[in-house]
Amino acid sequence: MQKHANVSLYLFKLGIAPQIQDLLGKVDFTEEEISNMRKELEKYGIQIPSFSKIGGILASELSVDEAALHAAVIAINEAIEKGNADQTIKTLQNPNAMLVNVDDNFAHEYQKELSEAKKKKEENARLKSDSILEEERDVYEELLTQAEIQGNINKVNQLIAVDNINIAIHNCDSNMTIAALMKPEAQLPEVYPSAASVYQTELFNLQQQNAMKYLAHDELSIAVEMLSAVVLLNQALESKNIEAIK
């Protein structure tokens, strides 16, 4: 808690955050700032939640742009709650939400992951709610924050990328495998396309040795890092031999 307070004080001195008044990280908002939020929420047909304080918002004042961001995030939470994947994907793609790497094709996967994350957060909030006064409730106690939403999007994208890598390895298509390994969503170490057959052969052998015939992200990450090191070493040795022949 003390660390959190120190960080807030540092940001306050830099002029990029309000000074947090207590260790719970609460920030007071003016009527004008609340008014900005109300106007933005009305665009989505949402009533402003009953709160007078919000924790975790690092802004010296809630400008129209900042209010637009938080209103977009609240609208996403509303869509998740309704359980309509098509509506949820539309809210995720709202520029005001400032989310990246949202893929239309994964709407149902996002809905499932975000719904589970939201339920878990609501359960945790219920356990703490008895000890918090109503007027001190934080709007993000039960709602997913922008960072949490982005984290779940990244998680879904990575899981699907890993699935596609495993399919490519299983199909013994080295070009498809190298392309899948290079996808940014996979979040894997660097690979070298010139050695596509090396990655394909070694990863296929590893996959076959796995009881599930499936390589998880951590297994792929370790294997790719080692294979890339071997590829670089071989390239260095080949280049030395060529120099020696010359």
- DSSP code at position 182: T
pLDDT for the residue numbered 199:
98
Place 72 in a pLDDT band, splitting at 50, 70 and 90.
Answer: very high
- Of 123-137, 155-169, 219-233, which range is least confident? 123-137
Whole-angstrom distance, CA of residue 99 vs CA of residue 73? 10
Q: What is the pLDDT of residues 138-167, one digit of tens each?
A: 678 889 999 999 999 999 999 999 999 999
Which carries the bigger pLDDT value, residue 113 or residue 142?
Answer: 113
State the pLDDT at residue 38: 73
Q: Which residue has the higher pLDDT, 151 or 24?
A: 151
pLDDT value at 93 more than 60 = yes
Closest to 224 (Cα-Cα) out of 172, 195, 101: 195
- Angle, CA of 138, 3 and 34, to the nearest 5°: 25
Is residue 52 within 8 A of residue 29, CB to CB? The reply is: yes
Alpha-carbon span 34 to 116, nearest angstrom: 30
Q: Quick one: average pLDDT of 17-37? A: 50
Does residue 216 have a pLDDT over 90?
yes
With a cut of 50, say whether residue 241 has pLDDT above it: yes
Token pair 């260790």 in the structure block, residue: 23
Beta bridge partners of 53: 28
- What is the phi/psi pair of residue 53, to 5°? -135, 150
Residue 180 — very low, low, confident or very high, per pLDDT cuts 50/70/90?
Answer: very high
pLDDT at position 33, please? Answer: 54
